Every structure is written in structure tokens, then in C-alpha cells.
Chain A
Amino acid sequence: MNKFVAIVAASIVASTAQAQETVVWWDFLAGGDGVRMKQMISDFNAEHEGEIVIDGTTLEWGVPFYTKVQTSVAVGEAPDVMTYHASRIPLGVQQNLLQELTADDFAAMGLGEDDFAPSIWDSVTADGAQYGVPLDTHPIVLYYNKDILAEAGLLTEDGVPMGLDSREGFTETLQTLKESDAVNFPLASVTADGNFMFRTIYSLMGQQDGELMTDGEFLAGDNPAKLENALSVLQEWTNEGLQSTYTDYPATVALFTNGEAAMMINGVWEVPTMIDLQENGNLFEWGAVELPVIFDRPATYSDSHVFAIPEGNDMTEEKRAAVLEVMSWMSKNSLFWATAGHIPANSNITAMDEYQSMEPNATYSSLTANMIYDPKTPMAGVAGPMFDVMSTYFVPTLNGEMDPAEAVEEIVLELNDM
């Protein structure tokens, strides 16, 4: 018997000595940032040749991705590592989809709490345990067409749009653009997609210190009024003809990049789109800044891409070590990820001189001090239930079909009914 054990043990040792670990990887990064992630994967594979190879698959963002994760965990066919949204971690933990990453795991990765901003570390924490390695934080920003704004005399000496400090100031900038007749729309907004607009509207709530959830209750106290304020501003822009109406996501990007709209509020993940277009000589001079301060203080909604290990995955110790190496390498090499517009979560990277001179990231990275995240509840998260309820009432309100007060009333009712 002992002999048998010895043989088995020897063969395991022998096989791990030569065998190359294949790490099955799923992500939902299909845009310009997906191209950069594929580059990072192939760099990783080149550097770990003969030891670890990442077998990556890109799936459809949103509900399709998260549904697939859920079903694959249930039938034991989950990948070894996957990208995840920090905002969905509470839901993922409730659904038993995520493996906890222990202090030992973090030690093995050479990473820890000190390497991340407190808000980012907190976003991967549920009940005191960590469930992911943050890769980045990806807020929304204000993109602007420098050529058009310069012509309308709306650029400050620093080359950023005027009127970013108040509601009146920003509305005036939009009005001036409208009167200049240089563009069809001063601002391109994803007004046909309530899911997207959640980001802008929640940012505007944050600018009034509003909260979506207080002690387990949705929109408690004066928060409905703050939501109504946020919706009213956006509806006013629609009524005054200052932003595009009934515009879906691809059309919004198109309106901005072909010069029909002077500004656009969108995620930093569109930065590579702009960089690539400009490299090919197909884009004007452009910039991106922190969202204007419409209310009391600057605030921007943000989420994080994190790496997580799914549950129901009987990994060998060697495989798990390989997965940890993958996550660790990605975090430590996330300077390149910043070229996708994202702000790396690893603060050693953002402290590098190379990062601090990187544009447009350097211009908008001031916003990291003002980031707000989703409330920590299984109802939250991209493409989650809360997103879904609110988005229903955003579209009619933003396009002037529904009164903001009525929308807020319905939202409160439906959220608390979940």
C-alpha cells in the first residue's frame, strides 16, 4: 500500500514539474478595452511559457454573462477565473457563485489591503471577507470636442469646458453651443437606455449626498427629493433641446465621434475608441474631464472590474496557484490596462510617473477622490434588479414623457416592493 501511495505521489510531483497549467478565463470585455485585455493575456502567456497558459473566452456583457456564470457554477463547468463587477459581489456571494480569497491567497499574490484605495478594497469585501482582486475602477466622465468648444469660445485656459462648477454654468455652456449652430446636439446622452443613465443619475444624487439605500430601505428620508432633482436637471436639458433624445448607446457614441454632438457623458471605457479613431486620423481634438458639479459637491458613480474565482470548481492546488499568479500578474501589469481608459485599482500603478503623465487619464483621475459606488445589497449591480427597476422610469422621464415627481414615486414604490 505504501508503495502504491509513493508511486502516485511521485507521479503527481513529476507531472506538475513538467505540466503546463491551463487557466480557463472568461471575460465580458468586448469593446476597445477587450482588445487591450487580449494583448495582456498574450503578454502573460509569453512570459509564462511552459508554465501557465490562459485560455480566454469573451462573452456578452451584462445579463447573458452573469446568467452563464450562474448556470455553469451550478453544473460544475465554471471557468477557473473570470472578470466580475464589484457592484455585483453582494449578489454573487448570496448566490454562492464566488470563492473567498483568503489572507493567504493575497499573501501568495503579493497583494493586500494597502495596495488599493479604501473604497475599492471595500467594494470587493462582503461580511468581512474578500471575493475578488480589483483590476480597475471605471467611472463615467464628460467627453468634449475641443475644436467645437474652442470655436464657440467655451474652453478655459486649461483647455477644459467652461461652466463645470455649477448647474447654471454648465447649462449656459450647453445653451451657447446650441445657439452657435455648430452642432445638432450640445450633449449626446444615452436617453433611450435607462440602464446606462443610472450611472449619470446616481452621480447627480451623490452630488447632493443622496443615498439609494439607507439601513436596508430604498430611498429613505429626503432621498426621493434628491433623485427628483437629478431627474429634473436632465429633463430640463431635454426640454431645452440641449441633449439628444431617444438615443441608444451606439448612436450616442456615433453622435459624438462624428461631430454632431459637442459633448458626451460616457464611461472611461470609450477612451480607446477615441484614441484608435484619432490615430487613424478620423477624430477631432478631444478631451475628457470629471463630471460637472451640478449640485453641492463633485461626485461620480464608479464600478470596478475585479477578478474572481467561481465556486464549484475543484481545482488542484497547482491550478489554484496558477490562477492566483494570473490575477496577481494582471494587477501588477495594469499600467497597460490604463490605456483602455480605466483607472488601475492597484495604487502602486497609479503612483507611477508613467501613469501620472498618461492622457486623458491624468486629467480625470482627480475624480477618484469623489467616487461613489453602488449600495451594498444583492439588489444592486450592473444589469441587476435595482438597475432594472429604475431604468424603467428613467427613459420616459428623460425624454419628457413623464413628470420627474411621478417617476420618483413609482420607483420608490417598485423598489420597496422587490
Chain B
Amino acid sequence: MLRNTKKEWLIGYILVAPFVAIYGLIFVYPTIDMFLLSFQDAPLIGAGTYVGVDNYTRLPSDRRFDTAFWNTVYFVVLTVIPGTFVALGIAMGVTRLSGRIQSLVLALFFLPYILPVSVVYRIWDWTMNFQFGIAMHVLDTLGIDRVPVFQTSTWFMPAVAFVTIWWTCGFSVLLFLAGLRAIPQDIYEAASLDNTSGWRTFRHITWPLLWPITALVLTIQLILQLKIFDQVYLFSQGGRPNDNLVMVYYIFQRAFVNNQGGRAAAIAVVLFIMVIIIAALNFQLMRMSERRK
């Protein structure tokens, strides 16, 4: 059969056109606009005046930017690797169970993941509220001083990181479980015939064969946690938001509270570049470590 390549091309273009149009309209165009906006002294909505790189040069001496930057880094450190290991641990445990018990335990670990963030906030506020939280009554009974968890800067980030891991690790557990099930059983059988210890089995069989999944979980977590906003916003309500700022929160604050669209855009660009650099670096590291095996 003769193929009309020209026609095929045309059909191809027509088929991708809706996607390209929408992608251009709601992603490419706003992104370009954001870069342009970051060089302007502009309100949230409406035209601004061109100010060159002013919005960027003021960032190093901007104390709130400093807080937001380091809090974001701190939060990533507190969640990405610990969260991945917690999920791996849970998955290793769940995989040892079988039948209905396994389904039940898995469901229990997955349950928090389906909750909306506002519900997560409510639950933990009921638990940790300084005046009325359940946990505070437990501390009282034990004779320990109450801890204002979400009202002091020392406790805030670790607490939110803990809640985040509790909330989101269900999904990573599922990924790890799928990965564990994909490892052929005969490898383990061979190992047990050789009387290999549990640790060695993990170190030399499970860990390397699971690496692609681990790398995936790490990457997903990394990008997700760099963009942290919801939990920090909710838990700082009626507290001290400016000490708990993270990058996205600071963008929100500049844009929507202070009505400074240009300065907000500059911070957004910085975050955008941060995510790209870290994601690329992460990808390269993963590839290198895979090649070594």
C-alpha cells in the first residue's frame, strides 16, 4: 500500500494540536510571562514598570527570603531520605505478611494518604494543640512540661516533617511493595540454600534490585517536598508564619498579601531554577550509581 506521508504528517499535527495549544496557553505562556514579570515592579494584577534585575539583587539581603530558603532546605533534608526509608521499612514488613492481614495492614498504612491536607491539619491540631491537644494531656500525666509544637520555630519544621511523612508515605509503600514483588523468588531461594544471613540478602539482593524504585521514590519526594506549601501554611495559621516561611509560602505572601507581583515572580524563578538544578543533579547521581553496579 502506498503511504501518503504528507497526509500522515498532517493528521499527526492535527492530533497533537489541541494538546500543544493548551500546553502553550496554560504552561509555556505563563512561564514566559513570569520571567518577564520578575524584571518589573508590578502589582499582583496589572501593568508594572521595568526595573531590571532589582527584584533579584535584593534577595540576598532579604531576611524573609533567607528564612524561606533555609527552611525549604531543612524541610527537604527532614523528609526526603527519612521518608523514603520509613516507607521501605514498612514495605519490607508488609511483604512478610500474607492474605487478609497483609491487606488490612497495608490499608492502615495507606489510609492517611487519602486524607485531604485540611483534615490532616485538623487531626494533628487536635493532637498537638498547646491548650487542648490530646498529646498535651498525656504529657501532663507523665509530668512533662507541655511543648508548644507548632508555635516555636525549634519544633515547627520537625513536626511538620513528621506529619508529612505520616501523611504521604503510604504511596511510597505501594511503590516499594510493587518493586519487592517484582524480585524473582528463586533468587531468594538460592540465597537461602547458601544459608545467607538476612542482612546479606538485603544488602546484596533486595537493595540493588530495588534500586530503580528507590531512585524513583527519592526523585518524586524531592520534587514534591521542594514545593512544600499546604502543611506549612495551615499549621502556621494563628501562629507565626513569618518564622516558618518556605519558598512557595513566601511567593504567596509577596504576591497575595503584599501585592508585589514582580518580587513574587523573582522568587518563583529562583525556586524554578532550584528545582531544575536539583532534579538534574539527582538524575545524574542516580544514573552514575546505577552504572557502578
Q: Which residues of A contact B (CB under 8 A)?
A: 63, 67, 70-71, 74, 91, 95, 190, 192-194, 196, 244-251, 254-255, 383-385, 388-389, 391-392, 395-396, 399, 401, 414
Contacts and interface: CB of A to CB of B under 8 A. Distances in A.
Contacts of B184: none
16 contacts: A74-B45, A91-B259, A192-B238, A193-B238, A196-B238, A244-B131, A247-B130, A247-B131, A248-B129, A248-B131, A248-B238, A251-B131, A388-B258, A391-B240, A392-B243, A399-B151
Contact of B256 (A63, A91, A95): A63
Interface string B224-256: 000000000000011111110000000001001
B265 interface: no
B148 A246 contact: yes
Given A74-B46, A192-B240, 9 more contacts: A63-B257, A91-B259, A192-B130, A247-B130, A251-B130, A385-B258, A391-B240, A399-B151, A414-B63
Nearest to B129: A251
A395 B259 CA distance: 24
Given A251-B131, A385-B258, A246 B240 contact: no
Given A95-B259, A192-B238, A392-B243, A71 B129 contact: no
B239 A193 contact: yes
Contacts of B152: 246, 401
Interface of B: 43-46, 63, 129-132, 148, 151-152, 237-243, 253, 256-259
A334 B152 CA distance: 42
Contacts of A395: 151, 239-240
A63 B237 CA distance: 12
Nearest to B239: A192
A255 B129 CA distance: 13
B44 A70 contact: yes
A183 B148 CA distance: 21
Given A192-B148, A192-B238, A246 B130 contact: yes
Nearest to A194: B240
A385 B257 contact: yes
Contact of B45 (A70, A190, A251): A70
- Does more than half of chain B's interface fall in helix, strand or loop, or is it mixed? loop
A192 B242 contact: no
Contacts of A192: 130, 148, 151, 238-240
A391 B44 CA distance: 23
B46 A246 contact: no
A150 B198 CA distance: 71
Which of A194, A255, A395, A401 counts the most chain B CB atoms within 10 A? A395
B18 to A, nearest CB: 25
Contacts of A74: 45-46
A110 B243 CA distance: 49
A91 B257 CA distance: 11
Contacts of B258: 385, 388
A247 B44 CA distance: 33
Contacts of A67: 256
The 3 closest A-B pairs by CB, nearest first: A246-B148, A248-B238, A392-B242
Contacts of A401: 152
A385 B259 CA distance: 9
B102 to A, nearest CB: 41
A187 to B, nearest CB: 14
Contacts of B259: 70, 91, 95
Nearest to B253: A388
A14 to B, nearest CB: 39
B125 to A, nearest CB: 9
A205 to B, nearest CB: 21
A401 B131 CA distance: 18
A261 to B, nearest CB: 10
A366 to B, nearest CB: 31
A399 B257 contact: no
Contacts of B151: 192, 246, 395, 399
Most buried by A among B44, B63, B130: B130
A161 to B, nearest CB: 23
B256 to A, nearest CB: 5
A251 B46 contact: no
B260 to A, nearest CB: 9
A238 to B, nearest CB: 12
A59 B241 CA distance: 22
A388 to B, nearest CB: 6
Nearest to A392: B242
Given A192-B151, A248-B239, A392-B240, A383 B257 contact: yes
B57 to A, nearest CB: 15
Given A192-B238, A193-B239, A71 B45 contact: yes
Nearest to B44: A70
A388 B130 CA distance: 23
A249 B45 CA distance: 32
B160 to A, nearest CB: 16
Nearest to B255: A67
Contacts of A399: 148, 151
Nearest to B243: A392
Nearest to A246: B148
Contacts of A63: 256-257
A401 B238 CA distance: 18
A401 B241 CA distance: 16
A255 B238 contact: no
Contacts of B63: 414
Contacts of A249: 238
Contacts of B129: 248, 251
Contact of B242 (A95, A246, A248, A388): A388
Interface centre among B148, B151, B237 (most CB of A within 10 A): B151
